[in-house]
Structure 1
Amino acid sequence: MSKRKPRQIDYSLEELEEFQESIFQAFADVQDPRVLTGAIRHKLIDILFITLCAVLCGADKIKEVAVYAEERETWLTNVLKLENGVPHYSTFWWTFVMLDPTEFHNGFSKWISTLVRQDDNQVYAIDGKALRGTAIKGRPNSFIHTVSLWACGQQLTLGQVKVKDKSNEITAIPKLLEMIDITGATITIDAMGTQTAIAAQIIEDGGEYILALKGNQSSLHDEVSNYFIQAQQVEFEGVDHQSYHMIEEGHGRLEKRSFFVTEDIDWLPDYDRWKKLKTIILLKTERTIDSVTSTELRMYISSLPADARRIAYAIRSHWGIESCHWILDIAFREDTLRARIGHIAENLSFIRKMALILLKQEKQTKGGIELKRKKASWNPDYLLKLMNVKF
């Protein structure tokens, strides 16, 4: 029987220094909340780095982070040159409870900014997420909400803002838009962001928008919906439009997505309230499972001209942030985590997003995010590889 040769490891502790330096520089200005409490035995940056390593290796809770640190103390001491060993559970806990999430977010944004390349036709998606596990017992709707900004081409979370509840999600959108230069980019937002003020801000900042229509703009939604229902009845005959079609098949499922785009909007009541509004869009999804077909219609408005292919790409790209949220719930169990004291939920959400970015950028390993996390916990060399990924 032939023996398999051990694979060559092409990453090292020396290469890890580049990654550490990027983290250290990005978070250098983050104020350590423990300064007011007295002696500090462990640097804040070391606590953040150890937590990131732990989450990459499968830790979902602070207790698990502390156990990881204990089990990997020799390795972490070698990597970080720890003078006082690894932090205790209470150190991790109180650090994340007290750490100002605004400062943490600023560090997170600085780190991300070194990774993002500005692509042609850049698409940024904004979407909200509920951390359902943080709900207070007896108050099922008291969970923490966050709104995130997503670079679709690079599949990176660029920013995150916490809000009190879902109804306040629209207050976070202007803050997220101010975090980046959106010149020439297309911003996609679910129905929560379909507001005239948000559309105006995007245009004034040099971007374009695609905004979903639902009940929050019921009159506009009904007008656009009726227009496209009538257009379909005559198979778009005489309707000046563009269309683009996508078909996906697999696992006994067939999906056909048809995008219809028109600049025929002069009839639309109060259309001039929406800055630079140029097109209305119909996305018709026909989904067949076990010979049973269902149809779903979605409506959008946009400042883009009637380029159906470009618009289809942007709308499809928006689903990447929804996929990110699904992965956080499934692979990181974010929807079940109950910690909500102080700022711990929001700060750990940043760490999970950092870990997800690194895991998604590693393309060589076949398998999902959960498998990669297990592999990192089994093999420190693979953990180093995750942190040496070139974006």
Structure 2
Amino acid sequence: MKGNQKTLHRQIRSQFQGKRHIPFVATDHEIGHGRNITWALRAKQAPEHIREAWIGTSWIMEVTASGTRDGKPFQATHLFLTSLRTTPEALLQLVRDRWSIEGWHWIRDTQLHEDAHRYRGNGAGVMATLRTAALNLLRLAGFRSIRSGLQAVMHDITALLAMARRQPRCLLKL
């Protein structure tokens, strides 16, 4: 739930403030890639006024991610509503999966300026495939930063072709 739905955002946020009873919780912990993050989901049945305005809604959720990223303190809280009827653990996994996808799209837009491209027809699919291949090649080559990887091979066709011919480490062990 983004801030552009101000009333709904305020209504959901108020349901998780103070000493209200939150019946459903789930947590998860992630260590790796420079992160040490604890994810906490708190969920409850959507109140009647939200279910009436947003037909089909069953749960409202607050998800907090807190810890460190690259040694720096990090905290983010997001609000959600959903029509899914499942366990809090499954809801938390769905939220984490969504953030993973959003992170991938953020890289594609900020580093490759994908949203600025105006390809049509088959060109859009071809360019998206080439961008995905480029990102995967940079990751396989060991670049933790897409920006530094792009800068390293941008004007070096030899390095780019060497990356394309390189076999992933997992295949070399066979």
Give matches, 1:110-189, under 5 Å. none
1:354 to 121, 125, 129: 129
Q: Which runs of 5+ in 1 are unaligned?
A: 1-212, 386-391
| Equivalent pairs, count | 157
Per-residue CA distance 1:253-277 (angstroms, 9 max, x = gap): 53211011222x2x34152232321
TM-score by length of 1: 0.33
Structure 1 residue identity aligned to 2:80:
Y
Q: Which runs of 5+ in 2 are unaligned?
A: 168-174
Q: Determine if the alignment matches structure 1 residue 248 to structure 2 residue 30.
A: yes
- The answer to whether the 8 Å contact 1:279/1:306 transfers is no
Per-residue CA distance 1:133-176 (angstroms, 9 max, x = gap): xxxxxxxxxxxxxxxxxxxxxxxxxxxxxxxxxxxxxxxxxxxx
Per-residue CA distance 1:174-224 (angstroms, 9 max, x = gap): xxxxxxxxxxxxxxxxxxxxxxxxxxxxxxxxxxxxxxx233322221111
- The answer to whether the 8 Å contact 1:259/1:284 transfers is yes
- The answer to whether the 8 Å contact 1:223/1:268 transfers is no
Q: Determine if the alignment matches structure 1 residue 285 to structure 2 residue 57.
A: no
What residue number does 2:17 align with? Answer: 229
User: Quick one: structure 1 residues 280 and 375, their matched pair in 2 at CA, closer, same or farther if it must change by over 3 Å?
Assistant: farther
**d(CA) in 2 for partners of 1:271, 1:214:** 18
Residue 358 of structure 1: how far off its partner (Å)? 3.6
TM-score by length of 2: 0.65
What residue number does 2:105 align with? Answer: 325
1:377 to 151, 160, 174: 160
Rg: which structure is higher?
Answer: 1
Residue 321 of structure 1: how far off its partner (Å)? 3.2
Query: Which structure's relative contact order is higher, taking Cα pairs within 8 Å and 6+ residues apart?
Result: 1
What residue number does 1:258 align with? Answer: 40
Q: Percent identity?
A: 19
- The answer to whether the 8 Å contact 2:51/2:58 transfers is no
What residue number does 2:55 align with? Answer: 275
User: Quick one: structure 1 residues 354 and 223, their matched pair in 2 at CA, closer, same or farther if it must change by over 3 Å?
Assistant: same
